[in-house]
Chains A and B, each alone.
Chain A
Amino acid sequence: MKICRGPIGIVLAALMFAAVSATLSMPSGAQQAQTAQVVVVHGLRGFVADVYVDSKVVLEAFRPERVTDPLSLPVGEHLIEVREANAPATAKPALSTKIVLAAGERVSAVAHLGSDRKPVLTVFRDNIKPVTRGRSRLVVRDAAAAPAFDVLLDGRAVARNVTSRGQSESEVSANQYKLSLVAAGNDLAPSQNVPLNEGTVNFLYLIGSASDDSLGWLANKVDGVGLPPAAVQTGNSGLVGGQPSFPVVPVTSLLGVALCAGWWLRRSSVARSAQLEPALERSGIGTGSRRQGNGPSGRARRR
């Protein structure tokens, strides 16, 4: 009790106050940003799965060639496990991986065939930063048992030598493209028409196996990563009158009235000119204020 009254008490109180106000003023956005998003992609044909996160099942009977909605998880380390559907939660998982999540990021956990044709779980970091206006981001990921390939859009290479569990990322003009993969000069998989819309990120996964001719595609599109046009410029000639225009009519008529009144006063008071001097001075100030009021620059100069 005694300590609270002395200078130490004051310091303690001040520290507590500072701590409390710091806590209160912490933006709620900072707390919200302490999460990340995880998307699970199923690229293993013929395998129905239960998905576990940190030993809890989050999705049952997850069928192949599907993708989950984004799952929000706190930042930090998490355990992703995949078991065969209806397998007990204690059973050894078919696939598992640890992921470390940073605030605000999005990752994709992909179950697929590795280069040795065995199932594997790969974690990709997703670039969902805004796309340049008028463009679209294409991310091709190798989630198949296939030789290294080049990625071509309308016959033009946008990436070379993509290998298993690797990816290629490119930003292209928004358009419909013919996507083809070439390995050692030959088409690896049938060409596909891909709509790459403005302001989207398109994650494309090559899945399956080249050796049994089962290569195929999965796609996961993220919308709303574009920017609207910055401006609309639709005139350069000034044919349309300014709006609002300078109030010419009211200002000139009011000044006219003032001038007439001043003139009448002056005419009527030649004999008493000595008394009227202050009045003329004031009317002079009034005229001056019009000039200063003519534009913001005039005001600024005055200050």
Chain B
Amino acid sequence: MSGSRSPLARRVIWVVLVTALVATTVTLVFWQQDRPSPTVEVGATPDRSRPTSTAPPRTSPSILVPVVDRDLLDSHPARLEDLPDGTAVAPVGVRIDRPDIGGSAIAAGVESSGAMAVGTDPLVLAWYRYGPSPGEEGSSVIAGHVDYNGRPGVFYRLAEVTPGASVIVTYADRTERRFVVVARRHFPKSDLPVDQIFSRTGRPQLVLITCGGEFDDAARSYRENVVVYAEPA
């Protein structure tokens, strides 16, 4: 009975066996390759290369000036009262329509570790108060917990947000402004483009950010940041 199988059937089974093993290997290899940069890309990355204002004086390109010329310089008022005080109307709430997520926001700065302060209430968002308010020139950042001490956070489902979703920001003066999601990116935390995300110049942009990706049990921390970019509607 056992020896009755035809050579053709045996050959077919061989092919299936080898194919399955090769496919397994290929799947694993691709999984491995994906892991270092498992960047999810949804939508076009917002172009930050076209700032609406000039770079700060320190970084402005220095041209070699062998001969100083007439009318090279301009001057501006230097009275103390002319210092811009930089106080913006703070955002106090964020609501996204798809999926329906959001919550109230507080103003937050930085921890002594250098990380953005995000508070300890998983349901409260943190607006980076040293950057612009949403809608002002530059990139305004609002962070929210994906989870905290075993409880789902306000941005538990941020990774489900896709371009076209609507974001309503409420401000301290009770006004509202609508933004539209243009992209979502997942960055390994070590590769988070903080200069771009926290940029204080350039076209107005709202960045919503949380954690995601694999969870590192030992460090009690996710390996990635989920970043949603929105622009004024």
Which positions in A face B, CB cutoff 8 Å? Answer: 31-32, 34-35, 37, 40-42, 51, 53-54, 56-60, 62-63, 65-74, 106, 128, 133-134, 174, 176, 192, 194-195, 197-199, 202, 204-205, 217-240, 242-244, 246-247, 250-251, 254-255, 257-258, 261-262, 264-265, 267-272, 279, 283, 286, 289-290, 293-294, 296, 299
Contact = CB atoms under 8 A, between A and B. Distances in A.
Contacts of A35: 62-65
Nearest to A266: B2
B147 A176 contact: no
A265 B106 CA distance: 66
A37 B62 contact: yes
Interface string B4-32: 01000110011011001101110111011
Contacts of A235: 145-148, 153, 210-212, 215, 221-222
A101 to B, nearest CB: 12
A268 B10 contact: yes
The 6 closest A-B pairs by CB, nearest first: A224-B56, A238-B215, A228-B198, A230-B114, A261-B17, A235-B211
Given A67-B77, A258-B21, A296-B35, 9 more contacts: A35-B62, A35-B65, A60-B71, A72-B62, A195-B83, A228-B194, A231-B113, A234-B209, A261-B17
B226 to A, nearest CB: 9
Interface of B: 2-3, 5, 9-10, 13-14, 16-17, 20-21, 23-25, 27-29, 31-32, 34-35, 38, 40, 55-80, 82-87, 109-110, 113-116, 118, 128, 130, 143-153, 155-156, 159, 186, 189, 192, 194-195, 197-200, 209-215, 217, 220-222, 224-225
A59 B212 CA distance: 55
Contact of A67 (B78, B116, B197): B78
Given A58-B72, A232-B115, A254-B23, A243 B209 contact: no
Contacts of B55: 224
A186 to B, nearest CB: 21
Contacts of B116: 229, 231-233
Contacts of A192: 80
B198 A257 contact: no
User: Which of B61, B86, B159, B225 is most buried by chain A, counting CB atoms within 10 A of its CB?
Assistant: B86
Nearest to B36: A296
Contact of B2 (A41, A267, A290): A267
Nearest to A130: B58
A231 B3 contact: no
B78 A66 contact: yes
Contacts of B214: 242-243
B31 A244 contact: yes
Contacts of A221: 83-84
